[in-house]
Amino acid sequence: MNRKLTLAAALLAATVMGGAANAKTFVYCSEGSPEGFDPGMYTAGTTFDAAAHTVYNRLLEFKPGTTETEPGLAESWEISDDGLEYTFKIRQGVKFQTTDFFTPSRDLNADDVVFSFDRQLNSNNPWNQYVAGASWEYANGMGFPALIKSVEKVDDYTVKITLNQPEAPFLANLAMPFMSIVSKEYSDKLEADGKKELMNQQPLGTGPFAFVAYQQDAVIRYKANPDYWGGKQKIDDLVFAITTDAAVRYQKLKAGECHLMPFPNAADVEAMKADPNLKVMEQEGLNIAYLAYNTTQAPFDKVEVRKALNMAINKKAIVDAVFQGAATEAKNPIPPTMWSYNDAIKDDAYDPDAAKKMLEEAGVKDLSMKVWAMPVSRPYMLNARRAAELIQSDFAKIGVKVEVVSYEWAEYLDRSKAKDRDGAVILGWTGDNGDPDNFLHTLLGCDAVGGNNRAQWCNEEFNDLVVKAKATTDQAERVKLYEQAQEVFKREAPWATLDHSLSVVPMRKEVEGFHQSPLGDFAFEGVDLVE
Amino acid sequence: MLRFLLGRLAVLIPTFIGVSIIAFSFIRLLPGDPVALLSGERVMSPERHAEITHQLGFDRPLPIQYLDYIGGVLTGDFGTSIVTKRPILDQFFSLFPATLELSFCAIIIAVVIGIPAGIFAAMKRGSFFDQSVMGVALVGYSMPIFWWGLLLIILFAGILQWTPVSGRISLMYFFPPVTGFMLIDSLLSGQSGAFKSAVSHLILPSIVLSTIPLAVIARQTRSAMLEVLGEDYVRTARAKGLSTFRVIGIHSLRNAMIPVVTTIGLQVGVLMAGAILTETIFSWPGIGKWMVDSVFRRDYAVIQGGLLLIAAIIMVVNLVVDLLYGLINPRIRH
């Protein structure tokens, strides 16, 4: 007995020590602090990286590195012919994480799924307002309250969701971080203990990494979830070292204090590529920057005027000056990484002389206009003022006088929505779910006029196409409809499409298995460190 | 003494109310709607907007919002962050030790170097040493902190690799905070190397944060010393044949210290302002960085709560400085 114990102790010590010696810790220099750890309540990518992609899973997941969906916690699903009923088969044997703060007694089942929806959609659910001001912004933003009629448990491993109208992007929406599946059992325990707020501080899910600790504004620690249904991770620990300044992140990467960083300064990218200890991944981001004319105001209500202005903009100069080349010129309102991108469309060539002539033919003389420049740097437009100044000088060449204006960011977003707005607005969009509907309908549909549709552009032909595509579940049919919609867009030119920025991810040479996500996520499932 | 203390406290109360009104109204005067910012480029429906505005209480008249807020503050409730949904006081107390630790080290550096530098510059007035000290002080005072911090990082952490780039301690050390002061916690943790790591992380940010106070203290010490060195009693002391050490150390320094102590007290405000930039560059999880993040997120609740708490600290420090005069100069013993 004694000997057995000794042996066991020795074995244990060996395991612990061996583990310590070989423990692989992956350090990610993240760009900011998460707002919280309940992905349902927030909209920021920083929060989703820290909470959703580590700790949680969703019914469907995006295939790593793509905008296509694949089965996640739902093994399979069936859609009724009318497109209203979705029946999901829940994967069996999925374990919730065992942590210092909670030990689950059962596997994932339909109760967890139903609860994850209900807490966001049902204002009578005790978890709907579990912290003051919980607002479930994404569920509301994606129209879930109006779209979803009911979410029912059919049996322990089957859930049926009924919609009020057919909606093709629904499946992609379910793969979004805000629809992370939480544990009903854990929630019940927190409720019983009177500590509901911990749901937003100590998350617990089924994902590849289990939450360990968060030191506010400094470090988030996770350990690999040994029970993960997708297989154990190759790294043992995952650490987010919060480093807000991009130049400092770069120094940390160089010094080996972290393995991977997001959002480098454009000016540093060349040096990163030249550094033998680093490698750099690049991909067109799921984004677009545009200049939206107000198509309801003369003379911008005329297609020829908008076309002429579009032809006067030297996009290459903008890409070079603002992004140091880390962007591509945009011809369509959706990025090339998105399915249904119509590559057959030809862009309006940069031709100031032709533009000038076209403007004259349209009877427009001595035109003065405002160009709005965003006061903040966004991934799709790093420096809107610089871009606006370039547009100003481009337009000067065709005799159009431009006044560049700007407002504080929230004010800018608000004022630019006005239907009688004066001037063309520089703005952009980063896709949420990889579905073209999320760009074409959300930004250019008739019901978005006075809101996201900054061009105030309601074109019947275009709108019919995108509305029809939204209600069709036949993928091939949808592709066709969206391709047509892009043709109409190009012909009518409500925007000048400016650029799609490249998302650049520098990392240490030893990092393997990282998939750059077109959705802009930083997810570390499957990464490894190979010396 | 008690009367003096009570008198000073009586002044503190209206000052505090004044600060609270400024903190409260100032951020509301800024353009920009915190509710709209919650959804960014994604447009919120007007109904949704109204609902959240109501939830957060922003639809009530400003005076009511203010009274409600002050009522909370008096009972120790500084409200809840709009973004993180966590109580502000909790967050403040978990982050404040980091700022305090950094500020404390910075002021130590500033005093230990600044006062002797000022004294020697005064003693060798007009010399090369004097001119260099004052020149360096002027440069230090005028230097943009952000640029200075980055410069030090690139040189000492990037190229020479003498210090770590940023953070409070190496990521390999992990222990729950006890006091919140990393120097103390690292010792308590018993993990070998943790204390050394904490010190090495403190060096660069402390130097950066100490730069402006150091320059101010050196200049102030020099001019106060020059004034005192010209006094009759110093000449008398010298005439008596006292050693330079006694003349400077006992007779002059103590008298010159009064304006210097005032200056050091005033540096607390400078440190708080400097901490905002220093913490942001060095990813130092203190209240300066917290405030910056909150400004970007338009987190009204945190900005006003944080401002109020910082103002309260500065007021208390000033009070302590006033009381310290008495210890240095018996003539103004209250």
Chain B residues within 8 A of A246 when measuring between CB atoms: none
**CB-CB under 8 Å, A197 with B289:** no
> Looking at the complex, does the CB of residue A141 fall below 8 Å from at least one CB of chain B?
yes
Nearest to A180 by CA among A338, A29, A86, A50: A50
Q: Which residues of B, range 183-242, sit inside 8 Å of A by Cβ? A: none
* CB proximity B280 to A under 8 Å: yes
Nearest alpha-carbon partner for B224 in B250, B260, B249, B263: B260
What number of CA atoms fall less than 13 Å from residue B209's CA on the CB side? 34
Is the predicted pLDDT of residue A20 greater than 70, yes or no?
no
Residues A316, A440 within the same domain: yes
Which of A17-21, A452-456, B264-268 has the highest average model confidence (pLDDT)? A452-456
Task: Please name the residues in contact with B242: beta carbons below 8 A apart, sequence gap of 6 or more.
Answer: B251
Whether A278 and chain B come into contact, CB under 8 Å, resolves to no
List the single residue in B31, B158, B177 with the smallest CB-CB distance to A408: B31
Any B CB within 8 A of A32 CB? yes
Q: How far is B99 from chain A (nearest CA, A)?
A: 13
Q: Is the pLDDT of residue A7 over 70?
A: no
Closest residue of chain A to B84, computed from CA coordinates: A35
Percentage of chain A with pLDDT > 90?
76
Q: Are A204 and A183 in contact (CB under 8 A)?
A: yes
Burial of B160 (0-12, 13-18, 19+ CB in 10 A): exposed
Structure pTM? 0.85
| Shared domain check, A49 and A80 | yes
For residue A238, give the chain B residue with the closest CA: B171
- Residue A43: inside a domain, yes or no? yes
Same domain, A305 and A233: no
Judge whether B306 is closer than 8 Å to chain A, CB to CB: no
Hey, is the C-beta of B159 within 8 angstroms of any chain A C-beta? no
**CB interface of A with B, residues 152-181, below 8 Å:** none
The tally of CA atoms less than 13 A away on the side-chain side of residue A47 is: 21
Peptide bond preceding A299: is omega within 30 degrees of 0, i.e. cis? yes
User: What is the rounded distance in angstroms from the CA atom of residue B266 to the CA atom of residue B276?
Assistant: 17
Same domain, residue pair A424 and A480:
yes
CA gap A132, B87 in Å, rounded: 10
Task: Answer whether A114's CB lies under 8 Å from A95's CB.
Answer: no
A204 occurs within a structural domain: yes
CB A253 within 8 A of CB A262: no
Tens digits of per-residue pLDDT, A180-239?
999 999 999 999 999 999 999 999 999 999 999 999 889 999 999 999 999 999 999 999
DSSP strand pairing (A85-90 vs A495-508): unpaired
Give kind and range of the element (H or E) at residue A148: strand A148-155
> Do B150 and A247 lie within an 8 Å CB cutoff?
yes
**pLDDT value for B4:** 78
| Nearest chain A alpha carbon to B54 | A133
Complex confidence, ipTM: 0.83
Q: How confident is the model at residue A13 (pLDDT cuts 50, 70, 90)?
A: very low
Taking the Cβ of residue A197 and every Cβ of chain B, the question of whether any pair is shorter than 8 Å is answered with: yes
Contact call for B177 and A215, based on CB within 8 A: yes
Provide the CATH number for the domain around residue A172.
Answer: 3.90.76.10
* Eight-class DSSP state of B122: H
With beta carbons less than 8 A apart as the criterion, state whether B148 and B211 touch: yes
pLDDT tens digit string along A226-246?
999 999 999 999 999 999 889
Query: In angstroms, rounded to a whole number, what is the distance separating the alpha carbons of residues A153 and A112?
Result: 10
Nearest-angstrom CA–CA distance, B186 and B168? 11
pLDDT digits (tens, 9 = 90+) for A262-300: 999 888 999 999 999 999 999 888 999 999 999 999 899
Of A489, A494, A513, whose CA–CA distance to A454 is shortest? Answer: A494
Q: Tokens in use for A330?
A: 């945009």
Distance from CA of A156 to the nearest CA of B (A): 34
Asked if residue A1 belongs to a domain, the reply is: no
Do A330 and A472 belong together in one domain? yes
In a domain, residue A255? The reply is no
The answer to whether A282 and A326 have CB atoms below 8 angstroms apart is yes
| Residue A495: its H or E element | strand A495-508
* Residues 6+ away with beta carbon under 8 Å from A262: A29, A30, A31, A249, A505, A522
Whether the Cβ atoms of residue B163 and residue B200 lie closer than 8 Å to each other: yes
Q: Are A202 and A190 in contact (CB under 8 A)?
A: no
- Alpha-carbon span B176 to A98, nearest angstrom: 20
Q: Tell if the CB–CB gap between B298 and A248 is shorter than 8 Å.
A: no
Confidence of residue A133 (pLDDT cuts 50, 70, 90): confident
Q: How far is Cα B4 from Cα B161, in angstroms, rounded to an integer?
A: 52
Rounded CA separation A39/A58 (Å): 11
B31: which 2 tokens?
A: 């353009």
State the nearest Cα–Cα gap between A90 and chain B, in angstroms. 32
- For residues B303 and B309, what is the distance between their CA atoms, to the nearest angstrom? 10
Say whether A131 and B80 touch across the interface (CB within 8 A): yes
**C-alpha R_g of chain A:** 25
pLDDT at A1: 38
Interface residue B118 vs chain A (CB under 8 A): no
A241 touches chain B (CB under 8 A): yes
Predicted local confidence at residue B333, as pLDDT: 57
Rounded to the nearest angstrom, the minimum Cα separation between A497 and chain B is 17
Closest-CA residue of B relative to A439 is B42
Rounded to a whole number of angstroms, the CA Rg of chain B reads 24
Are residues B36 and A200, on separate chains, in Cβ contact within 8 Å? no
Half-sphere CA count of A208, side-chain side, radius 13 A: 20
pLDDT above 80: residue A4: no
Nearest-by-Cβ selection for A133 from B40, B85, B166: B85
Chain B residue numbers with beta carbons less than 8 Å from the beta carbon of A200 are 84-85
The reply to whether A518 and A495 lie within a common domain is: no
Flag whether residue A415 sits within 8 Å of chain B, measured between CB atoms. no
Amino acid at B235: R
Residue of B nearest to A28 (CA): B171
* Interface residue A35 vs chain B (CB under 8 A): yes
How many beta-carbon pairs under 8 angstroms link A with B? 147
In a domain, A180, yes or no: yes
Residues A458 and A520 in one domain: no
Q: How many domains does chain A have?
A: 2
Q: Looking at residue B113, what is its pLDDT?
A: 95
- How close does chain A come to B84, measured CA to CA in Å? 5
A467 and A483, same structural domain?
yes
Mean pLDDT, 10 residues at a time, over chain B (334 residues)? 80 87 81 71 76 83 88 87 87 92 94 93 90 91 89 92 91 87 91 92 95 93 90 87 84 85 85 88 91 84 89 85 75 62
Among A131, A221, A255, the residue with its CB nearest the CB of B165 is A255
More confident residue, A4 or A472: A472
Q: Is A100 on the interface with B (CB under 8 A)?
A: no
CB-based contact, B46 to chain A, within 8 Å: no
Place of tokens 């992905």: A39
- Pick the residue of B47, B80, B85 with the most A CBs within 10 A to test the interface with A by mutation: B85
CATH 3.40.710.10, domain B91-301, yes or no: no
CB-CB contact of A73 with A112 (8 Å) = no
A203 and A141 housed in the same domain: yes
> Alpha helix locations (H) across B30-127?
34-37, 46-56, 62-74, 88-123
Q: Which of A34-48, A84-98, A150-164, A496-510 has the lowest mean pLDDT?
A: A34-48
Provide the pLDDT for residue B47. 79
Subunit contact B289:A219, Cβ cutoff 8 A: no
3-class secondary structure, A378: strand
A251/B34 touch (CB, cutoff 8 Å), yes or no: no
Do residues A88 and A228 both lie within one domain? yes
Instruction: Give the pLDDT band of residue A22 (cuts 50, 70, 90).
Output: low
Q: Give the CATH number of the domain where residue A323 resides.
A: 3.10.105.10
Burial label, A17 (beta-carbon count in 10 A; 0-12, 13-18, 19+): exposed
Q: Measured between CB atoms, does A128 come within 8 Å of chain B?
A: no
Quick check: A216 and B157 CB within 8 A? no
- Compute the nearest-CA separation of B223 from chain A (Å): 39
Q: A246 to chain B nearest CA, in Å?
A: 9
The confidence score (pLDDT) of residue A21 equals 46
Amino acid B232 reads D
Residues A222, A329: one domain?
A: no
**Quick check: is A247 in a domain?**
no
Q: How far is A92 from chain B (nearest CA, A)?
A: 34
- Domain range for A193: 25-242+510-529
Rounded Cα–Cα distance for residues B299 and B277 (Å): 19
Q: Does A428 touch chain B (CB under 8 A)?
A: yes
Please indicate, yes or no, whether residues A358 and A229 belong to a single structural domain of this protein.
no
